[in-house]
Structure 1
Amino acid sequence: MTVVSPERFSSLIQGAATITANSDLTALLFATAETARETTGARYAALGVIGEHSTLVEFHHVGFEPATAEAIGHLPVGRGVLGTLIRSAQTIRLDRLQDHPDSTGFPPNHPVMESFLGVPVRVGDRVFGNLYLTEKPGGFTEEDEDLVEALATIAGSAVANSRMQQRMRRLAVVEDRERIARELHDAIIQDIFAVGLLLQGLALRLEDERERREIEDAVGRLDEAITMLRRFIFDLRRPSEHGRDLVIELSRIVRQLSDPYGIEVKVTVADDLSDQRRELSGALIDDVCQIVREATSNALRHSGTPAIEVRVESGLGSLVITVVDQGRGFDPRTANEGMGLKNLRYRAEKAGGETTIHSHAEEGTAVRVVLPI
């Protein structure tokens, strides 16, 4: 393994936090591809999911303009170099994709790609899919390879966690809940613990005291995640559920997101919701928390804002979420939305809601999501 620069290692830590923050599997896969693209400086990235017949059954890509993606039409199924990566389950790094003996060229309307980095994403002892990156100016380096392999390890653990959560939501029988609790303890907690050991080992390679402290903080957050999982396991084994407090959950989320940036995030839940708070369904609270997480994370990472305000209010048969920053803003008519905003829109639409974004250069951004109650 190469010695990773402090700046890129810090980017890796932030990227890991973004990936693991997603409980929805599709959003998680998009976040992994986008994080890998941003971390390496590649123009395009994708995460392909491998099916039972060793072909790609899903292909989540970032970096393509919508018109280009539409013109290409069919998504890859795993031929050429992509097929070689599926069969070998080993990292492939190329300066020029066309020089590989298994290269089969590109379909009509596909942009030309030369530099290539492909890394398997493993869940347990099986390859779940592959992470693909192309078109980095100057080509991919050994350091890029190490960083993306680390991201793939983190993504694999996050996929396992997401799958386990999905299974838990489908199962209500006491025996099944007990079995899931054991699997969470024996598999997921051990994976998170292993990632913590990996970070601690990488910290020993750094001489900068500030960077070491950042890593120690990240390891501390992983320890907190393990503690939360253990509480979750305890709750699984209890026969009854307890009410959830939206204010407490939102405050915890924004604190975890904002602490690394040192930016104040104010959370306000309107008084007229106080009597309803424990009556909100668990699914609705999940949607609110994930939307606030996505919008807040996007503002922290990209806006350069000194402060963020999160408001949750009730309307006529609806719940209104507003996240406002004082950052640099953008023109929604011309800007290419990053995966953060795309994931946010996806979550809102999945919950039957609508998303509105108001932004102007140097005037900040307001994200407003209306969800039905």
Structure 2
Amino acid sequence: MDVQRLRAITIVAPLGYLLGVEILTFVLIERAVGSDLVLRLVIIFGLLAVGAVPFSFWVFSTIERQQRDLVESLAATSRRNRELDAVNRASASISRALDLPQVLQNIVEAARDVVSARYAALGVTDESGRITQLITSGITAEQRFALGPLPEGHGLLGVLIRDGKPLRIPDISRDCRAHGFPPNHPRMKNLLGVPILLNDSVGGDLYLADKIGAEEFSQEDENLLVLLSQHAGLAIQNARLYRDALSVRDRLEILTFHLEAKVAERTQQIQSYSQQLTTRVLEAQEKERKRIARELHDETAQSLATLLINLDMCESLLPVDNPALLAMFARLRALATRTLEETRELSHDLRPTILDDVGLIAAVQWFAEEYTRTFGVEVGVDAEDPPTGRLSPEVEIALFRIAQEALTNSGKHAEASHVDVTLTFREEYARLVVEDNGKGFDLEQVAGATRKGCLGMYGMRERAALLAGTVAIDTAPGKGTRVTVVVSLKNKAERDRASEGLATC
């Protein structure tokens, strides 16, 4: 009976009873006793007592019963709250881990704690229902090792795997489906098992044995374990997704590593091929310069010199009374003389013989004098003698061409009044500095120079790179320009070995 009905009865019933007593008094008692007021009151009080005492007992018994029901309900609610709290804490403990083995172990420990069981196990099954993993709680590692191989799914374990629904056994020894325990297996009395669903299919089973504090597992234990198994299924799915994500990440890292290695290897090959090609181009260019310079010197210049000699021999044969012919002859000689001088200058520009005959320092000094003669700008040359005497031809040619290009750029664009050229040697490196006091320029505008523009700057860098060297340009508008070149004095084989060593670091 609810409170509202009890309240209505306790109000309406006394009123009805009093009304009935009053009617009975008026109709029967008053006629029976007449005017005897005392007897009349005694009869009325007796009637009231006869009705009030049972009614009071009924009301108090109803209140006591409702109090007991309320206490039992509160106790059940409190117990349910505690159980749900235990499930929530267990679920939180399960969900905190992402590593799959740790998640499975957390599930077993949480299940054992929630239903107060002495032993717990989680069997992970494949699509055919075969147990592929067995995670235990309540036994030591030594006991688990002594159990031997994984169970094959016979007996009660097989029933749970096949049926895919909760299984609660009060006494394992009395269940006809039980197959007994294998050697070294702890003795267990009662069993509670529930499946773990993964994507609407059974992916494993929870087994709890030997209820602590009771003779068997209850329906509430089963309900709690079913609820926990739902959280466990989600946790296992998340852990597997995390494992798959890590696996994909690891594969991507491996693929990226191999790809980067391949790219680095290919880049090294391209750079090596580019350097070889550039070397061959520059070598061919120098050979062609040398060949043309030699032909100009040995053939064209000699022919022009012979022409001038023949002109000198023919001059005495000219009639002195023909001024027009003499003037034409003089112009012809002047043209031949100028052509001879230009041919010799072109021959020297293409390949100064002094570079091959004397060496780098003499060639730089000669070009500095030619620069002063051409641009009218004083050039100071401060050069040390190489520590090993003559340098290798490739180093001498590269440093001379870089100095030549830097001086030519300065003469064409810098509007300088003075240029300094410094050449020093330190152990295995040579350092060339060409510095002017000209107007400078904005380096950012030509920082990305390629073969499409700023060919001189690109060529200097290419020549230095072939000798494992660098070119640094320090300039700004109004502050002059300094070109610093550092190249290796090692031979090509030594430079290649050093480059391979750096590439594999």
Q: TM-score, normalised by structure 2?
A: 0.33
Structure (1/2) with the larger strand percentage = 1
From the two aligned structures, give the one with the greater helix fraction: 2
Larger Rg: 2
- Higher relative CO (Cα under 8 Å, sequence separation at least 6) belongs to 1
TM-score (norm 1): 0.44
